[in-house]
Amino acid sequence: MAFLSEFSTEVANVLIHSGKESFPEALANLFKKLVPADNVMIIAYPRRKLPQIEYNDVPPDNRRSTADKFIAGAFLLDPYYLAATKHKKNGFYYLHEIAPSGFKESEYFKTYFTLTGLSDECGYLIQLEEVGRKFINISIGQFDTVEKFSEKNLQNLAAVSPLIEALVKSHWQNLEVEPETTLDLREQLETALTSFGTSILTERENQMVQMILQGYSSKAIADRFSISVETVKLHRKNAYAKLDLGTQGELFNLFINSLMNMENYEGGDPLVTYLSN
């Protein structure tokens, strides 16, 4: 009963802050009453603009550079972003439920988990209107510890999902109401991702690169295209040779750098402009 009383008090506190700048922090405190969480990060995705980091309570020393890369285009590879936009997910999800096989070996994982110290993550995807275009992602993480989120922790977070959705919608329903004439920056970046390397690579090599960037293992890629692992490795080797790369880390950095240097993008392979500069 004591826990229920404390939790109810936190919910009431969140309601008091709804519509105010203090709301994200109050919401983060609610999660910390429910489970042992080291970090709560809230990311808003307007319909046409780039993601906005609304809250990040325990930022690491390199938060700024990491956040800059994330907003510039690395978010396109985030499992939660892909789950919301490609698979129309809504609700509570443990990272392992939505991340591809091999994700922990991906450069994205090394950049945004290893560097920040996060060892475990779960979170909410809350669609605000048109599915996949306007939503809130709440990440709840633990830093490098022996214990990860327990099954009970995950059950508790999943159980309050309807409550969290109601609170989030109440606060962010009018997030960035953009006119239809507003330039769709997210769509631009999504187009740039699918076009990345197409001026140099074959269609199949481009498919391999896309899935490698998203964190799929060679076996997972082979299963997706019904080919052998050896064939996947051959396509990857040929793609890396054409792009003058040696590692997945170099591929990731080339992708991010090409996006961060885009100006007035009108389509096509972003590498063309980047390499010419």
- Domain locations in the chain as residue ranges: 2-11+19-172, 185-269
Block mean pLDDT (10 aa), the chain, length 277 = 77 91 94 91 91 82 67 91 94 94 87 79 92 90 79 94 95 73 80 92 94 92 94 95 93 89 80 83
pTM value is 0.89
Which residues make Cβ contacts (< 8 Å) with residue 206, sequence separation at least 6?
196, 197, 198, 239
2-11+19-172 topology per CATH: Beta-Lactamase (3.30.450)
Cα 37 to chain center, whole Å?
19
Distance of CA 15 to CAs 30, 152, 170, 188, 209, Å? 11, 26, 9, 36, 45
Residue 192 near residue 73 (C-beta atoms within 8 A): yes
Determine the Cα–Cα distance for residues 261 and 169; give it in Å rounded to an integer. 35
Residue 49 near residue 185 (C-beta atoms within 8 A): yes
Determine the Cα–Cα distance for residues 219 and 217; give it in Å rounded to an integer. 5
pLDDT of the residue at 63:
53
185-269 topology per CATH: Arc Repressor Mutant, subunit A (1.10.10)
